[in-house]
Structure 1
Amino acid sequence: MSLIPKEVVDQILTQADIAEVVGDFVSLKKKGQNLWANCPFHHEKSPSFSVSPAKGIYKCFGCGKAGNSVQFIMDVEGTSFPEALKYLAKKYGIEVPEDEPNPEYAKEQSERDSLYIVSDFASKHYQHLLHQHEEGSIGQSYLKERGLSNSTIKKFELGYSLDAWSDLTDAALKAGYKQKYLESTGLTIVKEDGKKYDRFRGRVMFPIHNISGRVIGFGARTLKSNDKKSPKYLNSPESDIYHKSNVLYGMYQARQAIRMQDTCYMVEGYLDVLSLHQGGIENVVASSGTSLTEGQIKLIARYTQNITVLYDGDAAGIKASLRGIDLILENGLNVNVVTFPAGEDPDSYIHKVGDEKFKAYVAEHAQDFISFKASLYAEEAKGNPVKKAEAIREIVTSISKIPDPIKRSVFFQSCSLIFDIDEQLLISEYNKMHLQERQQKQQRSGSPEDLAEAEAFEAEQEEIQKPATEADSLKRYEREIVRMLLNYPDKVLVDGQNTCQYMLEQLEDVEFRTPLYARLIEVVKEKLQQGIIPAADDFINYPDQEIRTEATNLLSDPYELSHNWETHQIYVPHESDLLPYGAERAVLRLKWRNVQLLMKSEMEKLRLVTDPAEQDRVLQIIFQLKSFEKQIGDLLGIVVNK
């Protein structure tokens, strides 16, 4: 595989807008100069994930993830630097010159990237067969019968697999893709005798995309009505890039509409998504017939806190899936429910009544999940006290999943009216359940798993409480120097000198002992020797990932002054206003700490020296260092013991 030319990399880095790139994956809200969201890399209830459009960086103050646009794609997709660059190039319409795939291509890729590449090849192959191969007309006829337009078919990249033993496998191997990646993605199955065949044959293909639009798996529907042995729908198996529990069909196409309309419609099947999307309801995704998982809920929560589940008219199916909705409540999201007339599903109903009447029906029949579930159970329990008691406990169980106490209180009031029961009884039942859960947790606390967790926690606390080492304290002072150099490199301090020139001149004889900061200082020196004042981008886009990450950390600030201070004419000086003072003190602190460490080293040396002449020489050095320590201490306002 050829390398991406530097000028193309620079063009990608220049055009990639961090807010746009991150905004494809999470819903950002402006607060001060920065944009904030719940972190996509760890579970949290209050936003600690910050995006700085001015600096072109993101930083999570919870889990520590940080970087530029390329690093974000690498983090969120788990992909390599070149593949992240290619993703951004595609997003911004930048052509990346590369050789055609050849047998060496897959070899040079990481395992994960190779799975993406093979899946993409398969998707394009299936699309070509649907539109260009004569057998593809079978697939086209089916899709047309289901009312799908050409634009919908192309937008969702639908395809067709030939009813042949190894069509895809043969085409992929001929194009230079390795068999092991075809097997890893589940596209090819190899029998014990070594014979190879395609998993998908004679089926309409529904590519499953991840949130950035890369194909990670397939759903496939057979068109053979007389084949009783083969399942109607067949899906790709789990792989390193495809985890069913973290994927929702249609999320890539729906994510912007979900964010704009601040709600997500949840349906069951591929065709439900396609028909609704075509009808103008683009904020729709499918769980593809599986129970909702926490990973899927968290995926939706990146874009909205509101989910509306569109149920088929089948009452038995509705009741079977109710428990899965409790998981949505547990994650703090708001859930509404819409049911369709008996025998109808979202796909059939939108074709029956049309787009506008379908939207009106959904708006009119949407009901919050707790009220819907309570009404459903209350209807079943009519005239049966035992069933009514069971129904009440079932509803209280659902309400107990809601983390927000105010919402819980509102639902208790609502359910007391539906069941015609005292609200306090519902609350008492909830308290009883809550107490039982706590007791069960306490009983489990003696298990090996819990003991291991407790030991890990204690070890972590010991680490936190451990006194800072000399290296730690020195690192803190060195970090402050580098932070100022990165944030204010060209700020003029004294005598026409900028921050870089001033600090490096003042610290000319000081050796940085933290390896990472020593490397960062060398980068600054190299730039200055070239006559260039280093900018933040030089470090944010630096080839070394460790430098990129630390630079982003040093350029990020979790706190911003509210604009209300300015509105009320309350002046608070910014660090940059006091930079000459701050830079001088940062330099003095690092020198002061270095003098202390040198003094300690000489004192240890003195204990080992036996020669009187050498003892006098070391003592003179110690006295001189002690004098330096006092001079610097006086400048810093630190009292140094004599």
Structure 2
Amino acid sequence: MARIAQSSVDQVIATADMIEVVSQYTDLRRAGANYSGRCPFHDERTPSFSVNPVEKLYYCFGCGAGGNLIGFVMAKEGMDFPEAVEYLADRYGIALEYEESSARGDAERRRRERLRRLLEDATRYYERVLWESPAAAAARDYLAGRGLSEEVCRAFRVGYSLPGWERLRDGALAKGFTEQDLLDAGLVLPGKQGRPYDRFRGRIMFPLGDERGRTLGFGARAMGDEQPKYLNSPETSLYHKSEALFGLHDAKAAVHREDRVFVVEGYTDVLALAQAGVAAVVASMGTALTEQQLERLRRLTSTIYLCYDADAAGLGAMQRALTLGRRMGLALHVVRIPEGLDPADYVLSGAGGDGFRRLVDDAQTLLQFHVRLALATHDLDKPDGRARAFARLREVLSEAATPMERDDELRYVADRLQLSAESVRYLLSGGAGPPAAVGGGGRASGPADGPGVALGGAHELEVRFLAGCLSQPQAGRRALEGVDESFFAGAGTRAALRLVKERLAAGAAGDAPPAGGAEAGEGAEAFAEIIVRAGRERFTAVVVEELFLRLQEAQVGRLIARLKVTREDGDTGTQAEELARLEGLRRSLREALRAIPVEDDTRQSRGRVT
């Protein structure tokens, strides 16, 4: 890329108004020779941001952000140095000169500038037609009928393309543009006999611009039954549909000020919200929200509110956004518009901007939305419905941005299903199969179904119990009589159980412990932890007894949770009786735990696991 001449850079800096540029992002007030305001780079209540309008420098005494005019534009607009200079040159009408330019580079730059001029002329033409041509009366009536004022339509440069086949083309040719220019800009289509004709005819025109407000292409809406209802510019050297966001340039200042952006589906949603005083809004033009669109928004803010319909397309878009947002570090929320309405309908029906803001106050995070949707759209009274709900929840919760966010939603699911959080963790780990039969004494007769990945407290309890068994061999052998893998939720601790039993059996027989090589495999990592803890922590026979009771309580709790989840409709009473028996067994175990004497010198090492 050719380098901008230093003389042009100096001219841009000398011409641009620093206060005018910065005031797009924060309100400034004179403070002596300088201006001050709240910092546009971090949240603050007391102004600590200062601008020197003569030297064209800025500095924040709160966060330390500082630099010159071009650096400010680079930071706020996500531009590199040449882009920032070109942005300011375009804003202040400065023709840039370039050094070390090649003939090819100069030609490409001139070509792009020519297409931009053509698209700007087309935008002005469509605007003029909408407001001045008698043939556009139906379009003006349509917009007014939607509740959209002339003021807001003019602000977003809405226009109208006449129904004729050659109106735009002939006007552009008369101004010196060529048919190839029109084809390259996406404004005409090649005719069968080689004569191009206007691509947009009899449609309301919405210019699609870049961050600098320059038109790159158009979105066009039919007013009647004509198909397609929406028609966009084709891919060109300037316009790329996957990056397009309607209203971005107009929303920038408000997005910076509020540090959030609302994303809607359609053009009229943007116009209606802007008219209602909600300025930080853009349209993705449909629900196919792309990574490129999110990247453009991320340059301005990391907080994004999705205002899509809850139909199949909208839900699909929000699922994609959940995955993309997690990867890109975005905070995504969902604004629930009343069913049957889009944002434009809602604010224009009388709710206005205040009504929309109330919906925003009640917005859910995107993860919360998907969790609640999974619970609301499955029949939790039926086994297959519960199974599908948990399958969906596993998928959704895997997209949680942080463990804390995931735990919050686990607790919500537990409250909603009236289960313990530990039971929900177990069920979401894949242990939601049919309950195993339980024999006398709370001992399960068979291994638990499913992989049963250990989570959180279950793993801690199981490791400490097995470590206690090794530390207190006599109490350990007694506790492990009849204990099998079904008592353990984790695959690692289930495998380690066999190794612990082998070591205790060898010790009872006076043999040496099994060689280290025998302790490789699936349970090796858990077994290593058990060995370390057995040597490091102080266990007593009473501690082992307590841990064994807690192990039984946890196992019974899992059986109760699985039984509740898999309970059949029309049960004759067998399952209800089994549930009552398990509940009674759990009460007995808890009573036994309360009866265990507290040993003051071992309480810390026992570390009660609940």
Q: TM-score, normalised by structure 2?
A: 0.56
Q: Aligned partner of 2:67: which letter?
A: P
1:164-313 aligned at under 5 Å gives the runs 164-225=164-225, 227=226, 230-312=227-309
CA–CA distance in 2 between the matches of 1:124 and 1:350?
Answer: 29
Change in Cα spacing, 1:421 to 1:57, as seen in structure 2 (3 Å) is same
Structure 2 unpaired stretches of 5+: 27-39, 51-63, 98-105, 432-450, 452-610
Q: Aligned partner of 1:338: which letter?
A: V
Q: Counterpart of 1:53 in 2: which secondary structure?
A: strand
Hey, what does 1:163 align to over in structure 2? 163
CA–CA distance in 1 between the matches of 2:75 and 2:384?
Answer: 59
Kept in 1, the 8 Å contact 2:263–2:282? The answer is: yes
Q: Structure 2 residue aligned with 1:352, among 349, 357, 379?
A: 349
CA–CA distance in 2 between the matches of 1:69 and 1:303?
Answer: 7
Kept in 2, the 8 Å contact 1:338–1:362? The answer is: yes
1:319 paired to 2:333: no
CA displacement, residues 90-109 of structure 1 (integer Å, 9 cap, x when unaligned)? 534x57799xxxxxxx9785
Kept in 1, the 8 Å contact 2:158–2:207? The answer is: yes
Stretch deviating more after TM superposition (385-394 or 67-76):
67-76
Change in Cα spacing, 1:276 to 1:318, as seen in structure 2 (3 Å) is same
User: How much has 1:404 moved relative to structure 2?
Assistant: 3.1
CA–CA distance in 2 between the matches of 1:432 and 1:238?
Answer: 46
Q: Structure 1 residue aligned with 2:399, among 383, 396, 401?
A: 401
Hey, what does 2:125 align to over in structure 1? 125
Change in Cα spacing, 1:292 to 1:55, as seen in structure 2 (3 Å) is closer
Kept in 2, the 8 Å contact 1:219–1:236? The answer is: yes
Q: TM-score, normalised by structure 1?
A: 0.54
Change in Cα spacing, 1:72 to 1:321, as seen in structure 2 (3 Å) is closer
CA–CA distance in 2 between the matches of 1:23 and 1:209?
Answer: 22
Q: Counterpart of 1:220 in 2: which secondary structure?
A: strand
Q: Aligned partner of 2:146: which letter?
A: R
CA–CA distance in 2 between the matches of 1:215 and 1:270?
Answer: 15
Q: Structure 1 residue aligned with 2:326, among 319, 325, 329?
A: 329
Change in Cα spacing, 1:363 to 1:5, as seen in structure 2 (3 Å) is closer
Change in Cα spacing, 1:414 to 1:329, as seen in structure 2 (3 Å) is farther
User: How much has 1:350 moved relative to structure 2?
Assistant: 0.8
CA–CA distance in 2 between the matches of 1:197 and 1:55?
Answer: 45
CA–CA distance in 1 between the matches of 2:108 and 2:302?
Answer: 42
CA–CA distance in 2 between the matches of 1:407 and 1:115?
Answer: 48
Hey, what does 1:28 align to over in structure 2? 41
CA–CA distance in 1 between the matches of 2:77 and 2:245?
Answer: 24
Q: Structure 2 residue aligned with 1:53, among 67, 75, 82?
A: 67
Hey, what does 2:445 align to over in structure 1? none
Higher RCO structure (Cα 8 Å, ≥6 apart) = 1
CA displacement, residues 174-230 of structure 1 (integer Å, 9 cap, x when unaligned)? 1112322311221111134202101100111000111111111111111244x4xx3
CA–CA distance in 2 between the matches of 1:145 and 1:333?
Answer: 37
Kept in 1, the 8 Å contact 2:203–2:223? The answer is: yes
CA–CA distance in 2 between the matches of 1:70 and 1:307?
Answer: 17
CA displacement, residues 33-68 of structure 1 (integer Å, 9 cap, x when unaligned)? 999xxxxxxxxxxxxxx9742485479xxxxxx999
Change in Cα spacing, 1:210 to 1:139, as seen in structure 2 (3 Å) is same
CA displacement, residues 250-308 of structure 1 (integer Å, 9 cap, x when unaligned)? 11111211221122112111101100010001111111114111111122222222222
CA–CA distance in 1 between the matches of 2:76 and 2:142?
Answer: 45
Kept in 1, the 8 Å contact 2:212–2:249? The answer is: yes
CA–CA distance in 1 between the matches of 2:218 and 2:424?
Answer: 46
User: How much has 1:7 moved relative to structure 2?
Assistant: 8.9
Change in Cα spacing, 1:426 to 1:199, as seen in structure 2 (3 Å) is farther
Computing the radius of gyration from Cα coordinates, the structure with the larger value is: 2
Q: Tell me the matched-pair count.
A: 392
Change in Cα spacing, 1:341 to 1:269, as seen in structure 2 (3 Å) is same
CA–CA distance in 1 between the matches of 2:382 and 2:122?
Answer: 57
Structure 1 unpaired stretches of 5+: 36-49, 60-65, 77-83, 99-105, 437-642
1:377 paired to 2:374: yes
CA–CA distance in 2 between the matches of 1:323 and 1:308?
Answer: 14
CA–CA distance in 1 between the matches of 2:41 and 2:278?
Answer: 22
Kept in 2, the 8 Å contact 1:249–1:285? The answer is: yes
Q: Aligned partner of 1:298: which letter?
A: E
Hey, what does 2:139 align to over in structure 1? 139
Q: Aligned partner of 1:413: which letter?
A: R
Hey, what does 2:571 align to over in structure 1? none
Kept in 2, the 8 Å contact 1:184–1:239? The answer is: yes
